[in-house]
Amino acid sequence: QVAVQASVRLTSVSIPAQDMGRHAVEHLVAKLEGRGKDEVVLIAPELTVRASSGPTAS
């Protein structure tokens, strides 16, 4: 939200906190029930490109 309201529209990365929380609870419940596995779950953040990002160097 802050990036949208800034005078220069800032590029931002949104962290999917709700998905992270849901996966954490599901993993914990599975572990408590004896069916959990030690695994790494990667949840991709969302990049929103705005005016503060320039073109890539060539």
Predicted TM-score (pTM) above 0.85: no
Domain boundaries defined on the chain: 2-48
- Distance in angstroms (rounded) separating the CA atoms of residues 15 and 31: 25
- Distance in angstroms (rounded) separating the CA atoms of residues 17 and 36: 21
Q: What is the pLDDT of residues 16-41, one digit of tens each?
A: 999 999 999 999 999 999 998 888 88
pLDDT of residue 4: 66
pLDDT of residue 21: 96
The amino acid at 37: K
